[in-house]
Structure 1
Amino acid sequence: MIRALVFAAALATLTACATPPPSSGDEVQRLAAEIQSLGPDIDPEEATRAARIAHAYTAQLVQEYKITDPPLIHNAKVNKGLRPRGLCWHWAEDIERRLDQEQFRTLEMHRAIANADNPFRIDHSTAIISRKGESMYDGVVLDPWRYGGVLFWSPLVEDTRYEWVPREEVLEKRRQEQVGQLTRLALN
């Protein structure tokens, strides 16, 4: 019975990660409008450029990462050395790095991690774009991993699938836990 439940949960997870949301209209323009709505001082040209780059670079990374499978299967291939990159943090790192190259005046990038404290789920990384000077919580999630190379985007507050935490907070907590473990080992 437990095996059947575990299998069903794994299958549901694989299916959920493999099915992109329905696409309607011009995605680049819709994302540009969402970015523009982050504040009245967002440069419309920057919003459009960010949206265009996010979509085009996602397509480029699909080729570079050799994406042919749903995200979790691709992850297994990366972990076995059969694919070069394509884990969620690779997507987040590469999208953030590419958009940072633009040196936007009115926009800035953030990184976030979800599920870091959940022992039953693998943690998940993403990039977030916000108005310059705002926190990631006021931004738009840019997640090309979630649907295997199809760019998912949403205002962070509307992304109910994940509870995003600033990457720096998660990494600092992990560093403190490692220091604690090393201290305990040294005392024993």
Structure 2
Amino acid sequence: MLRLALLLTTLLLGACAPRPEGPPPAPTAAGIEALTRGIADLGPGVDPEEAARAARIAKEYSHSLALAYGVTDPPLVHNTKVNLGLRPRGLCYQWADDLQARLAQEGFRTLTLHRAIANADNPFRIDHSTLIVSRTGDGYAEGLVLDPWRQGGVLFWAPVKSDPDYAWQPREMVLARKLTAKSVSGRAVPR
């Protein structure tokens, strides 16, 4: 009964959000080029070829994941379907895990991948996980958010410090804080 109520509530709330018609659109050459410039602009020392490769893979792989996950709804509706077992994957941390694993295969020399979580300290919002790319030697805060979940398979990207929707914190810091809280309260630690 609780699952049905959760599904109906999410579907009703999701009806207020713009609903894509079918799977998300494939990435465009212009979108890949814009992300290439964004990555290259992380600073001197970023290899232009690595920036182009990272941008292409991030855009194209996000789209491939959307197809594999069966995304046809706004993110929160899709989350509900995953939680009810109606879709195989597609929670934000799964997008971040999968995109990180794919980009890590490239062995970039001039780029570093980081993980971050937002909303962990806000009881009125769900935690949100993402992947961040920075210039090697820089911290996560100097990087770009690579968030395929936010727009249901259409890769959102922006500088960490100017993300309009989320205030990011290093994943390790958030998980350590949650682990400490769990040891005190006995509650489960989310990813």
TM-score normalised over the length of structure 2: 0.83
What SS class does the counterpart of residue 154 from structure 1 fall into?
strand
Q: Does 1:51 align with 2:55?
A: yes
Q: Does 1:131 align with 2:135?
A: yes
Deviations 1:40-87 (A, max 9, x none): 100000000000000110111011101011100000000000000000
2:131, 2:149 → 1: CA distance?
11
Contact 1:17–1:146 (Cα < 8 Å) also in 2: no
User: What does residue 158 of structure 2 align with?
Assistant: 154
1:128, 1:13 → 2: CA distance?
30
Contact 1:17–1:71 (Cα < 8 Å) also in 2: no
Cα offset, 1:160, TM superposition: 2.4
Structure 1 residues 13 and 132, CA gap change in structure 2 (3 angstroms): farther
Higher Cα radius of gyration: 1
1:92, 1:105 → 2: CA distance?
20
User: What does residue 117 of structure 1 align with?
Assistant: 121
Structure 1 ranges of 4+ moved more than 6 A: none
Which of the pair is proportionally richer in helix? 1
* Aligned partner (choices 134, 141, 147) of residue 143 of structure 1: 147
Structure 1 residues 90 and 110, CA gap change in structure 2 (3 angstroms): same
User: What does residue 34 of structure 1 align with?
Assistant: 38
Higher mean displacement: 171-180 or 24-33:
24-33
TM-score normalised over the length of structure 1: 0.84
Higher mean displacement: 152-161 or 74-83:
152-161
What SS class does the counterpart of residue 15 from structure 1 fall into?
coil
1:25, 1:51 → 2: CA distance?
10
Identity %: 54
Structure 1 residues 161 and 111, CA gap change in structure 2 (3 angstroms): same
1:101, 1:14 → 2: CA distance?
39
Identify unmatched segments of 5+ residues in structure 2: 1-8, 187-191
1:99, 1:49 → 2: CA distance?
9
* AA at the equivalent of 1:109: L
Identify unmatched segments of 5+ residues in structure 1: 1-6, 183-188
* AA at the equivalent of 1:168: E
2:76, 2:158 → 1: CA distance?
21
